[in-house]
């Protein structure tokens, strides 16, 4: 893993998903096989494989303090093309520093991660009035998780994280994306832990080799995907959980 400390030029970028996005890191240690964010390499010039490099934006909080004063209050997604709580965040606390500033200015924030490290920042999350936290959970089956995203935290840890956040009064959601084999049955495990669920099919192309290597091709058909999505939507409806299918 090649880790570089860099000084970024900006930190609060416009986004198509929410009003703004903050990416405290370039690159992601989780290195998920299907990750769409690897397109970033085209812009950053990294030659290493995705997941083998991380640039740490050590001036992110300094930039945010200045940029937030120049913009109108709007929603911020943390993050779009990296996990803001990848392992390096335990050392660098870049995400934490940015969240402190966003909470101080009372901006709405949507955190999206796969990591229980988000619980470290419970003090900020409890204090902030407009934060919500999403855990990405693409399958209920940890054996499948190990095939597609071996460097990301186990599924049980993510469910426990959602549970702890939700019980602490923090708004939570689960992002079921991409819908991997074993996503069936996931919704039942989410009941009582989330305020809403988002399901996105996303693009599987980068993970083609995983489906082929493990004989899972039938788990990426339209039939599979629509069947699982219907099941998720039905359980959500029965449990009073808002469910959004964004595909």
DSSP β-bridge partners for residue 109: 76, 131
Tell me the three-class secondary structure of 111-168, residue by residue.
Answer: EEECCHHHHHHHHHHHHCCCEEEEEECCCCCHHHHHHHCCCCCCHHHHHHHHHHHHHC
The CB-of-20 to ligand SF4 minimum distance in angstroms stands at 17
The CB-of-139 to ligand SF4 minimum distance in angstroms stands at 13
What DSSP letter does each residue of 7-51 carry, written as one string? Answer: --S---EE-SSSSEE--SEES-TT--TT-GGGGGHHHH---SPTT
The CB-of-32 to ligand SF4 minimum distance in angstroms stands at 3
Residue 89 as a binder of ligand SF4 (CB under 6 A): the answer is: no
The CB-of-85 to ligand SF4 minimum distance in angstroms stands at 9
Contact between 162 and 115 under an 8 Å Cβ cutoff? The reply is no
Piece of 31-39, 157-165, 179-187, 200-208 that binds ligand SF4 (CB under 6 A): 31-39
Near ligand SF4 by CB under 6 A: residue from 35, 125, 175, 216? 35
At residue 49, φ and ψ (nearest 5 deg) are -60, 155
C-alpha angle 63-121-10 in degrees, rounded to nearest 5? 15
Which of 2, 191 has the CB closer to ligand SF4?
2
Near ligand SF4 by CB under 6 A: residue from 54, 60, 68, 82? 82
Which of 31, 183 has the CB closer to ligand SF4?
31
Q: How far apart are CA 63 and CA 22, in angstroms?
A: 11
Contact between 100 and 140 under an 8 Å Cβ cutoff? The reply is no
The CB-of-146 to ligand SF4 minimum distance in angstroms stands at 14
Piece of 10-18, 80-88, 116-124, 165-173 that binds ligand SF4 (CB under 6 A): 80-88
CA 106 to chain centre: 21
Place of tokens 């934006």: 57
Fill in the per-residue mask, 93 to 132: x = in contact with ligand SF4 (CB under 6 A), - = not in contact: ---------------------x------------------
Q: How far apart are CA 194 and CA 187, in angstroms?
A: 10
Residue 28 as a binder of ligand SF4 (CB under 6 A): the answer is: yes
Which of 128, 178 has the CB closer to ligand SF4?
178
The CB-of-104 to ligand SF4 minimum distance in angstroms stands at 27
Which of 53, 107 has the CB closer to ligand SF4?
53
Which of 70, 91 has the CB closer to ligand SF4?
91
Q: How far apart are CA 186 and CA 165, in angstroms?
A: 18
Contact between 140 and 182 under an 8 Å Cβ cutoff? The reply is yes
Which of 8, 33 has the CB closer to ligand SF4?
33
**Which parts of this chain interact with ligand SF4 (CB under 6 A)?**
28, 30-32, 35, 37, 81-83, 114, 152
């Amino acid at each position: 893993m090649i880790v570089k400390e860099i000084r970024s030029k900006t930190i609060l970028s416009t986004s198509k998903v929410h009003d703004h996005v903050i990416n405290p890191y370039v690159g992601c240690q989780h290195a998920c096989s299907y990750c769409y964010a690897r397109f970033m390499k085209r812009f950053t010039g990294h030659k290493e494989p995705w997941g083998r490099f991380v640039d740490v934006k050590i001036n992110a909080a300094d930039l945010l303090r200045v940029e937030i004063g120049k913009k109108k209050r709007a929603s911020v997604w943390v993050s779009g093309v990296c996990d803001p709580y990848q392992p390096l965040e335990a050392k660098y606390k870049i995400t934490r520093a940015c969240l402190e500033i966003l909470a101080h200015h009372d901006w709405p924030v949507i955190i999206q991660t796969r990591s229980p490290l988000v619980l470290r920042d419970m003090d900020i999350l409890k204090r902030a009035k407009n934060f919500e936290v999403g855990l990405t959970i693409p399958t209920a089956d940890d054996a499948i998780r190990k095939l597609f995203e071996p460097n990301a935290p186990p599924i049980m840890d993510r469910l426990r994280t959602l549970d702890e956040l939700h019980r602490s009064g923090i708004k939570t959601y689960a992002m079921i994306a991409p819908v991997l084999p074993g996503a069936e049955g996931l919704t039942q495990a989410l009941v009582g832990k989330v305020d809403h669920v988002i399901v996105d099919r996303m693009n599987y192309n980068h993970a083609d080799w995983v489906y082929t290597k493990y004989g899972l091709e039938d788990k990426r058909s339209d039939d599979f995907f629509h069947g699982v999505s219907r099941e998720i939507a039905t359980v959500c409806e029965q449990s009073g959980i808002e469910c959004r299918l964004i595909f």
